[in-house]
Amino acid sequence: MDYLLTDEQKMIQELTRKIAEEKIRPVAAKYDQSEEFPWEVIKVIADSDLFGLFIPEQYGGMGVNVLNLCLATEELSRACGGIAVCYAASALGTFPIVLFGNEEQKKKYLPDLAKGKKLAAFGITEPEAGSDASAIKTTARKDGNHYILNGLKHFITNGGDAEVYTVIAMTDKTKGARGGSAFIVEKGTPGFTFGKKEDKFGIRASSTRELIFTDCKIPKENLLSREGTGFIVTMKTFDMSRPGVAAQALGIAQGALDLAVKYAKERRQFGKAISSFQGIQWMIADMATEIEAARSLIYAVARMVDAGRTDISKESAMAKMYASDVAMKVSTDALQIFGGYGYMRDYPIEKYMRDAKITQIYEGTNQIQRNIIALEVIKETAK
Ligand SMILES: Cc1cc2nc3c(=O)[nH]c(=O)nc-3n(C[C@H](O)[C@H](O)[C@H](O)COP(=O)(O)OP(=O)(O)OC[C@H]3O[C@@H](n4cnc5c(N)ncnc54)[C@H](O)[C@@H]3O)c2cc1C
């Protein structure tokens, strides 16, 4: 399919494909096994200015462009979904500042994030507040020129490794969802510590930790937007970032298909390459078609965002839901094509299946995406 990409977009695609093949693929299994944070690769990504793809030019970036971010994330994920999410999660943590930060906040935080000198993370989830984000218990109490944060966030990607955190806390519990506010919290602030690092099924190169706030005092200047807008900040952030999760899923699916086709051409049974069997060919045809359908949807949604459309919750949810379901199905079928060998860790394919699973869960599970889509469709139909 020709997506009529511009020269700049093709250049980003080629650059990230090269980084993926030369710098990520050779170390993907190592980081999957060790669960160390892949700083050596993050440095390569930073040196290539790729952290600038989601930051305006006046703050040191290359302009906020969601399609560019999707193209980069897709290519990096093709080699390793875990390493790619370390990059994409920094975009998730940065978007609230790009979308809602004031001039001082943007000047203070964005230049270092654009250069990849610092990573960002986003924290809303808590042990009792996952899909129901409005149930968060972390509080931010105003105290003169400061806010005092208390509470615990868990499952936070880049937790512990990022320097800049955008965090949602309740400033007024009596107001329910209208009582949440968004804050920027810097690593090293007294009262802000990290809990356990999770031992995960997939995306093991990416770090997932608890954020613990114990009388953590931050300047009032770290409030993003206004008090009470925390959940709007979150929803608008997710509208921008979900195409990126979809692109991660797409890259994982494409990477799994690439490996499966190569294997099918090499593996011989009944005196022939298994790629000559119709049963395998039909699987390949379905996988390739579903991947292309996901890609078309993601690029179309990313182009809507880049054209300035803000009413994109439905489309963004569709891209994330569809691409992640495709990634799970394609990576499962790819493993099937590898037969028993695919089940062994000696082969790279099982990692794709493990890495794919998370894309159906984070930034809102696919059940929640279906709720968002259905509500919008029903609303539109009632007009
Ligand atoms: C590896 C990893 C990284 C993550 N990174 C981050 C991060 O960087 N920042 C952050 O804030 N969070 C992060 N999360 C949290 C993630 O977004 C949540 O795990 C997710 O939103 C689901 O919440 P939960 O795990 O509490 O599941 P629950 O909400 O308890 O859901 C359990 C099941 O019930 C279903 N369910 C719940 N409500 C409904 C409903 N209304 N209708 C139908 N089904 C429903 C869900 O779909 C799911 O299948 C991460 C999670 C993981 C595992």
Q: Which residue is listed with tokens 């892949």? A: 38
Nearest CA to ligand 1 atom 26: 130
d(CA 123, CA 132): 14
Report the C-alpha gap between 362 and 301 in whole angstroms: 19
Q: Are residues 29 and 348 in contact, defined by beta-carbon separation less than 8 angstroms?
A: yes
**Over residues 340-354, mean pLDDT:** 98
363 a catalytic residue = yes
Grouping H, G, I as helix, E, B as strand and the rest as coil, residue 155 is: strand
Query: Pick from 37, 325, 19: which is nearest to 204 by CA?
Result: 37
CA of 279 to the centre of ligand 1 (A): 36
**Residue type for 332, please?**
T
**Is pLDDT at 383 greater than 90 in this prediction?**
no
With contact defined as beta carbons under 8 Å apart, do 96 and 224 qualify? yes
pLDDT over threshold 90, residue 21:
yes
Distance (Å, whole) CA 294 – CA 302? 12
| Average pLDDT score over residue span 7-36 | 98
If you measure from the C-alpha of residue 365 to the centroid of ligand 1, how many angstroms do you get, rounded to a whole number?
Answer: 6
> Could you tell me the pLDDT band of residue 12, with boundaries at 50, 70 and 90?
very high
**pLDDT surpasses 90 at 127:** yes
The pLDDT assigned to 89 comes to 98
Residue whose structure tokens are 């011989």: 268
Burial category of 351 from C-beta neighbours within 10 Å (exposed 0-12, middle 13-18, buried 19 and up): buried
DSSP letter assigned to residue 115: T
Q: pLDDT for 247-277, tens place per residue?
A: 999 999 999 999 999 999 999 999 999 999 9
How do residues 143-191 score in pLDDT, each as one tens digit?
Answer: 999 999 999 999 999 999 999 999 999 999 999 989 999 999 999 999 9
Q: Please report, to the nearest 10 degrees, the dihedral formed by the alpha carbons of residues 363, 364, 365, 369 taken in order.
A: -120
Residues with CB under 6 A from ligand 1: 89, 121-125, 130-131, 155-157, 200, 208, 358, 361-365, 367-368, 371
- In this prediction, residues 340-358 reach a mean pLDDT of 98
Q: Which one from 8, 350, 363, 376 is the annotated catalytic residue?
A: 363
